[in-house]
C-alpha cells in the first residue's frame, strides 16, 4: 500500500509540475522586423504627342490640334485646341474598348483606338459637348457635335 501511495504521490507531483509549466508565461517572442517598405511599381515616363486633324465644324474644314499625354504606350489624356479655343484636358475612359474616349463633365473626344506608337496615324472621330434638347416639350440630355470627321492632317495649321 505504501508503494501505491508513493506512486500516487509521485504521479500527482509530476502532474502538478506539468500543469505549472503549462501555466508559465511563454518566453517572449522575438520581434519580427517590420516588413521592408514595398517599392512602388516603376511609373512609365510620360510624354506628349501632338497630332493635327482636319475636321468638319459648322460645315467648314477646321484644323484641330490634339496634344496627347502618354504614360509608356498608353494614352491617358488629351488637350484640344481649334480656332483659338482651348478645351480643357480630357482624361481617358478605359472602359471604352472600341474607341479611344477622353472626357470630362462637359466634353468628349472620340478617336480611333491608338497607342502612343501609332496615334499620329489614326483618325480622330468627333468632339462633342454635353447639352440639352427639347423634344415634345421635354428637356433631354444630348451630345452636341462641335467637330466631326476628323482625319489626321499633315501640315494643316489652325
Q: What pLDDT is recorded for position 59?
A: 87
Domain ranges (residues) in the chain: 46-152
Q: What one-character DSSP code corresponds to residue 59?
A: T
84, 63 in Cβ contact below 8 A? no
Instruction: Give the pLDDT of the chain (158 residues) as one tens digit per residue.
Output: 444 344 444 444 444 455 444 455 555 555 555 555 556 556 567 899 999 999 999 889 999 999 999 999 999 999 999 988 999 999 999 888 889 999 999 999 999 999 999 999 999 999 999 998 888 999 999 999 999 999 998 654 44
pTM, rounded to two decimals: 0.67
Count other Cβ atoms within 10 Å, centred on residue 108. Answer: 18
Cell matching residue 85: 479655343
77, 47 in Cβ contact below 8 A? no
Amino acid at each position: 500500500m505504501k508503494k501505491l501511495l508513493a506512486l500516487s504521490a509521485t504521479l500527482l507531483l509530476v502532474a502538478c509540475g506539468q500543469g505549472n509549466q503549462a501555466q508559465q508565461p511563454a518566453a517572449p517572442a522575438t520581434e519580427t522586423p517590420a516588413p521592408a517598405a514595398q517599392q512602388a511599381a516603376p511609373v512609365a515616363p510620360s510624354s506628349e504627342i501632338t497630332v493635327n486633324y482636319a475636321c468638319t465644324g459648322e460645315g467648314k474644314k477646321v484644323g484641330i490640334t490634339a496634344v496627347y499625354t502618354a504614360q509608356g504606350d498608353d494614352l491617358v489624356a488629351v488637350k484640344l485646341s481649334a480656332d483659338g479655343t482651348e478645351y480643357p484636358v480630357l482624361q481617358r475612359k478605359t472602359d471604352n474598348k472600341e474607341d479611344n474616349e477622353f472626357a470630362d463633365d462637359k466634353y468628349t473626344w472620340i478617336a480611333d483606338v491608338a497607342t502612343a506608337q501609332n496615334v499620329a496615324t489614326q483618325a480622330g472621330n468627333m468632339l462633342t459637348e454635353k447639352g440639352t434638347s427639347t423634344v415634345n416639350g421635354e428637356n433631354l440630355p444630348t451630345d452636341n457635335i462641335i467637330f466631326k470627321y476628323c482625319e489626321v492632317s499633315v501640315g494643316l495649321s489652325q
